[in-house]
Amino acid sequence: MRVEVYECLPVKGSVPDVVGKRKQTSDIDRGGNIDLKCTMKGQAGIIINWYRNNDLIEESKSVKLKSKDVTNNRVQSTLSLYNVTINENGAKYECRGRYPGVSLLQYASFPVLLRVGVDQPPLQLPTITEDSVDINVPYRLANITVKYDFEYRAVNASKWEKKTRAPNPSHIYRIQELEPWTEYELKVTPIHRHDTGRTSRIIRFTTLQGVPDPPANVRTGHVNADNATIEWDKPSKYQVRGVIKRYIIKGIDDDNGDEIANEVVVHVDATSYPIKHLLPNRNYTVRVAIENGRKQSSFSSVSFTTRPEIPEPPTTSQPENQINLEKLNQMEIDDDNVVSVAIDVKNLTSKPKQLNPRNVSTTAEILKKIVNTNTKNSKVGDNILGTISNMLDIEDDVLEKSNSTSKFIKILEDFVKKGGTFSKNTRNIKIKILTKLDTRSGVLQQTFNNDSTILIPKEVLDKAKNKTMYFIYYKNGKLFKRKRLIKQICTDDGFTENVYEESTAVMSSGIPGQSVRNLSEKVIIKFHVADSKAVKASSSCVYWDFDAAGGAGDWSNKGCTRQRMYNNTIECACDHMTNFAALIVSTQFLNVKLSSKISSQCLFSEKALQDVY
CA distance 181 to 395: 56
Amino acid at 419: G
CA distance 128 to 205: 8
Alpha carbon distance, N-terminus to C-terminus of the chain: 141
CA distance 139 to 169: 11
The upper half-sphere exposure of residue 607, i.e. CA atoms within 13 Å in the direction of its Cβ, equals 5
pLDDT of amino acid 206: 96
Instruction: Indicate the helix (H) or strand (E) that contains 93.
Output: strand 92-98
Q: Pairing relation of β-strands 24-28 and 108-116?
A: parallel
Distances (CA, A) of 152 to 163, 186, 191, 199, 436: 9, 4, 17, 13, 48
pLDDT tens-digit profile of 461-472?
887 776 788 899
pLDDT of amino acid 73: 84
CA distance 373 to 418: 11
Strand partners, 51: 56, 94
CA distance 488 to 234: 65
CA distance 382 to 385: 5
pLDDT of amino acid 493: 63
CA distance 536 to 65: 99
- Strand boundaries in 529-609, DSSP class E: 540-545, 554-556, 560-566, 569-574, 579-590
At a CB cut-off of 8 Å and minimum separation 6, what does 318 contact? 326
- CA 597 distance to own-chain centroid: 66
CA distance 540 to 533: 15
Q: Which residues of the chain carry a pLDDT beneath 50?
A: 6-7, 142, 312-318, 589-613
Strand partners, 24: 112
Structural domains of the chain in order of their starting residue, each with its CATH number: 17-117 (2.60.40.10), 124-206 (2.60.40.10), 216-306 (2.60.40.10), 318-427 (1.25.40), 429-612 (2.60.220.50)
- CA 557 distance to own-chain centroid: 40
CA distance 32 to 82: 7
CA distance 534 to 117: 80
Is residue 207 within 8 Å of 178, Cβ to Cβ?
yes
